Structure 1
Amino acid sequence: MVKDVIEVKAVNGDTHLGGVDFNNRMVSHFAAEFERKHHKDISNNPRALSRLKTACERAKRMLSSASETFINIESLFDGTDFSSTITRARFEKMNLDLFEDCMASVEKCLKDAKMDKVDIHDIVLVGGSTRIPKVQELLQDLFHGKQLCKNISPDEAVAYGAAFHAAALTNACLGKNKDTVLVDVCPLSLGIEVYDGGMLVVIPRNTTIPTKMTRNDLTFVVDYQTRCTIQVYEGEMPIAKDNNFLGEFSIEGIPPAPAGVAKFIDSFEIDANGILTVTTELVGSNNSNQITITNHSGRLSKEEIDRMVKEAEDYRAQDEERKKAIEAKNALESYIHQARRCGRRVQTKAARIKLKNTIETTVQWLEWNDLLRDAGKFEEKMKELKSMCESVMAETHHQGSDTAVKHEIIEISD
């Protein structure tokens, strides 16, 4: 925050982690105790579990200010009463791994914001679970003993922020807040699907909004296409279809031309209201089209955003392997096109047939292994094809063919 400008640097969280999870640990603990004492299992009785959950929620709140509390439920199950006590130390022990997961989210947020702990001026507690003493202790330890800001009610902090943001968007801010500006960030990466199925990111996650970003290096990889379809996604997965699909649009009437000739400019713009406009234009013409995506048209909720970010972290290694396999497959396909072009320049019939058969065998192998996710297999096939090309070109060279053809086959890359 600088003067009247509040800028969001990064957003992180785990919607599958919160107060309910702490309650469930207590419920499991007391359900096991009830079965041990009375030889009765309440795990399949919704009414008994509901009453126990209510009692556990009350006990959890009490432990934020007391070192010990009790629960007392009349006729919990099958006419049997249940009463027990729980200490704060016991509660903290049974939930310690969950508390540590909370700290992991804080550290990820710092990493996304490219900030160090010493750069943080104030730590504001938001949400009822931040009242838990152990959460506060771990948070304070994480920031090397820095005092936590407790001047605002954790239950009301989100409401204050939401009210202010709504007022700012509708120009309803009054008094000393009228000149305050809130700069938010894009919670998920935004991009398009490219020809190999990958996700081409145009606006990276945690980019401040409003913003506009452009890619001007887009082109066709197939000859003589007359139509371009743009599919827009949001998410962190390297494969586009693993992300959230937002919408698509097309540009028609593109003059037929070889691959790489037609050039496109792709622009992504997000305004202060979070509305996304994607525009694609064919360079050198007035041919363009666009799509506008609001927060209500296919966009993810905060819970879904947090889930997708967590899944991207969990499957990062697996996704990297898939990405490498796709890149290796694309390299092989590109080399096949180059080999075909150069094969037409081979002067001896026997050499041309030999090269053509090798290329067609490789193409057939690609068709059979279209879903293969092993980069090594594609690289191995590439080496086999290169070896054959070098052999054919060596024979051609021996017979006096142009040596420049050999250089082109081996060295050219897209």
Structure 2
Amino acid sequence: MKKTTISMLIIFLVLSLCFPFSSFAASKMTLQEQIDKASKGDIIKIAEGEYDESIKINKPITLEGMGNVVIRSCSEQAVIQVKGKNVVLKHVKVEQCSKGDKTAGILVSGSGHHLENIAIQTNKFGIQLKDAENVTIQKTNIQGNHKGNGIDLWKSKDNTLQNNMINKALDGFYLEQSDANIIRNNTVQNSRYGMHLMFSDQCLLEGNTSQQNTSGLMLMEAKSTTIQRNDFSFNNENVHSQGMLLYHAYETDIVNNTFVSNRVGIFVEEAEKNQFQQNQLKGNFIGVQFLKSQNNQLSGNTFTGNVNDAQAIESHHNSIEKNYWDSAQKLDIYGKGLSAIPYTADPFFLTLTADVPEYQIFFQAPGMVFLQKLLKSPKDALLIDNQPLMVMTTKQAETANSSGGIWMISAVMLIGSSILFWVGRKQQ
């Protein structure tokens, strides 16, 4: 009996050394219990599995999923709330199934947090930042249902949002009263606005792809924004679609972006002192449109294959020079690569078809061209480039397919008008 007791004691001690009591306890803990127990700087490795709970993190710790980790909640609270400073969250999947109007997958406040490699399925918002700064969000994948914004910032500054993918959001990125944020190398599709900035200054939008949205970008009541090397394309399925809309935007630099197959490539309304340089505008119904805007500069841009290159209404004192227009007449007298023949963008056809859309079948028909020369548009509707470029730069030529698209549209319109003329003759 004594030997048996001693043997059992030895076995118990061995098991205790191999499997500490804390491990057994931890395995039975909820995620929130593990977080509450952790000390500053601790790393919590979340075991693979599904966790049906909402969690709050308010201390500088790291939560890292191991394998397929799903954190799910259908409550009115965010699935994950991050507060305080220097929280790291990565390698998890978040499912937000609440129907609450303002519920988010992840709600962030505080500073210095880092969120990475997170997949979010949400009924409302993906990630919300409120009074947050110096937060990095990268490599997240957010799938919505058009009822909330993908990444939403309110009074949050100096944050970096990069390499994220957002699909079917209300707005992919929504910023309000949030200055000096960086939005870089993200992709937004099938949403209302790919990016929507309001009352947010000194932000950088760089290298993003915003396609197949109602509008690629909306910039409103913002200044000193830099928008460079983005792709705003195929935003054309709504009567209000634009690649980019600037409304009451000031001192913004729009440089080296691509606008392809949008209803309107760039729409500038009541905006001043903005610079548009080295942008590619190709295959849009309207390339660039100014409305009640002044003191803007448009130079070094390339317009190819647009149905209407440009329109200006009640817009004065804008500097339009040294752009390439594929439909311009060109004559280089001094050998400087600039045409001596000014290019004038007349919105006659656009104005006519706005009243009678059926007239679009006469696009580039000889009679329509004659009427445009005969019935000139008002002077304030003309946009004039006094020194258009003779040729595209090498870089522009690589990305723009000169005028193939416009000639194809012209051919279709000419064939259509010929058929109508022939049918009319037969009926006489």
Q: TM-score, normalised by structure 1?
A: 0.19
Q: TM-score, normalised by structure 2?
A: 0.19
Question: Which structure's residues are more often helix, by fraction?
Answer: 1
By relative contact order (CA 8 Å, sep 6+), the higher-ranking structure is 1
Question: Which structure's residues are more often strand, by fraction?
Answer: 2
